[in-house]
Amino acid sequence: MEVANQIFFVVFALITFAILLSAIPQFQTKRSDWPSIYWPLSISFYTLSCLSFGIALWVNKFLLTIANTSLLMSSLALVFLYRSWGEKPFNKIQTLLIWLIPLGVAILYEPLRVTPDTFLQRVALITITQEILVTWQLWELIKFYKKDRSRGVSWLIFLTMFTLIGNIFRTYRILTGDGPTNIFLYTEDAFALGLRWITYASNIMTFVALGMVYLQKQLTKENEIASSLISTKIENEKITELLKEKERLIYGLMKANKTAATGALSASIAHELNQPLGASNLNIQFLKMKLEKGVLNPELGKEILDSLEEDNKRAATIVKSLRSIFTDADSNTEEVRLGSLIDKVLDIVKPELKSKNIQIQLRVDDKLLIRVNPSEIEQVILNLLNNAIQALANSGTLQRRITVEAIKTGKSVQLSVSDNGTGVVFEFKSHLFELLSTTKQTGMGLGLWLCKHIVTRYGGSIHYEDALGGGAKFVIELPSS
């Protein structure tokens, strides 16, 4: 009977060793969602326990201490495994103290092993400790089952509970039986032996169930990856189709943009040519009137013709400048004095200022230099001054005033044009610089949009703010040369 028991233990050791060999490759994959080290560790201790029980009488009975200690460590490893599933692992100090439990039991067991008539005490020490650890396993599994009600976890709970019941019955049988008290593990009665082999078989089934749980996790993960790859392929196809659609839309927008740019260019040319052509028309009417009356002298005729020539040059410059703006051609920049550009524009609007009784206040630093196309910046200043003149003409303000300031701020030049009119209504402020947006009843919504378009070409900016004391103020910032 003793030899049969030892052979049974060796066979169980070989079975668990085979399970260990199947568990190690999964652990070595280093994938975070696969088995932790506690599964192969538990199987290793269990294999060592069975082997030690199997060869103890043939080699050395001290192996009984190693066998019982390994059995407890195998159960303890499963406690750590189930605990890790609940994502609440023990800290380092707790881990160290818990792993000292089997060592403490081994220290108590070894003196009892070499003392006669202590079989019952040895059994009580090992089996009760084992039952406490299996109960702990069951507790951790039940807690985890609340999160994962899979069939694998259910089987683990059942097998753990079965193992616990078998251990309790075996302990009860040995401690309450009428047999001799100085017997060994290998000479228990048939009922106790039967309970022992049932619990050992249950433990092996637990390891098999753990393998099935992890295999199921692996298959689930691979299915998720496969599904993800399929979804990714479908999404990539959709993205490819969307990109093609985007290209078609961009092509359509480019065509529409060219059409819009052509329309804006035409409207801008008409808008900006209005003033020099209007001035030319007035000079022509004046010249015709003088000719009809026969009072045209050479000096006056020359002055009118010079004015007409200047207006003609301005018109040609406007056409050339606007064409270069909309076609992104070379802007022919040069370093110029901002004060000179302001003076040139003021000469143009001087008749308008005089006729509408508008005073000009200048606060301009004559040393300010900027690198721009002069005609484009002149156009910006002219637009802002014309807007201020029209705003004051319609405001009913008696003391009409336009203030032009130009100062240096850090590495930039700041130019502002402000008036003391009524300012801009709140609802128009957010889209003042948008194309075709206007605050005037007869406006085209091109002037301020064109100003922003020109200024930003030179890395500058333009914004609106309420003037101090009332009125409108437009502020331009351009890089200093």
Q: Read off the pLDDT of each residue in 351-376 and give the average, rounded to a whole number.
A: 87
Lowest mean per-residue pLDDT among 68-77, 262-271, 355-364: 262-271
| Residue 319 pLDDT > 70 | no
Considering the segment(s) 332-479 as one domain, its CATH architecture is 2-Layer Sandwich (3.30)
* Residue of 225 and 388 predicted with greater confidence: 388
| Residue 3 pLDDT > 90 | no
Lowest mean per-residue pLDDT among 198-207, 264-273, 416-425: 264-273
- Write the DSSP symbol of residue 403: E
pLDDT value of position 414: 92
Q: How far is CA 248 from the centre of its chain?
A: 29
Say which amino acid occupies 135: T
Q: What is the reported pTM?
A: 0.46
| Residue 346 pLDDT > 80 | yes
Contacts of the segment 103-107: beta carbons below 8 A, 24+ positions apart: 103/69, 105/68, 105/69, 105/72, 105/129, 106/65, 106/68, 106/69
Q: Could you give the count of Cα atoms lying within 13 Å of 238 in the half-sphere of its Cβ? A: 6
pLDDT value of position 217: 73
What confidence tier does 26 reach under pLDDT thresholds 50, 70, 90? low
With a CB cutoff of 8 Å and minimum separation 6, the contacts of 105 are: 68, 69, 72, 125, 126, 129
Q: Read off the pLDDT of each residue in 91-98 and give the average, rounded to a whole number.
A: 87
Q: Read off the pLDDT of each residue in 238-260 and give the average, rounded to a whole number.
A: 65
- Rounded to whole angstroms, how far apart are CA atoms 378 and 313? 14
Percent of the chain with pLDDT over 90: 7
Query: Residue length, the chain?
Result: 481
pLDDT value of position 181: 40
- Through-space distance between the first and last CA atoms of the chain, rounded to whole angstroms: 107
| Angle at alpha carbon of residue 450, lines to 447 and 455, rounded to 5° | 125
Q: Read off the pLDDT of each residue in 449-463 and give the average, rounded to a whole number.
A: 87
Lowest mean per-residue pLDDT among 127-136, 182-191, 344-353, 419-428: 182-191
- Rounded to whole angstroms, how far apart are CA atoms 46 and 18? 12
The encoded tokens of residue 211 equal 């393998």
Percent of the chain with pLDDT over 70: 76
Lowest mean per-residue pLDDT among 89-98, 118-127, 276-285, 314-323: 314-323
| Residue 475 pLDDT > 90 | yes
| Residue 270 pLDDT > 70 | no
* Residue of 332 and 73 predicted with greater confidence: 73
- Rounded to whole angstroms, how far apart are CA atoms 274 and 276? 6
* Residue of 465 and 282 predicted with greater confidence: 465
| Residue 88 pLDDT > 50 | yes
- β-strands 412-419, 400-409 pairing: antiparallel
Identify whether the C-beta of residue 413 lies closer than 8 Å to the C-beta of residue 406: yes
Q: DSSP readout, 208-223?
A: HHHHHHHHHHHHHHHH
Q: What is the tens place of the pLDDT at every residue in 196-245?
A: 778 878 888 888 888 777 777 777 777 777 777 787 778 777 777 777 77
* Average predicted confidence (pLDDT) for the chain: 78
Lowest mean per-residue pLDDT among 37-41, 215-219, 275-279, 291-295: 275-279
Lowest mean per-residue pLDDT among 14-23, 143-152, 165-174, 442-451: 442-451
Spell out the CATH class of 2-234: mainly alpha
Q: Tokens 């740019």 belong to which residue?
A: 261
Domain coordinates in residue numbering, the chain: 2-234, 332-479
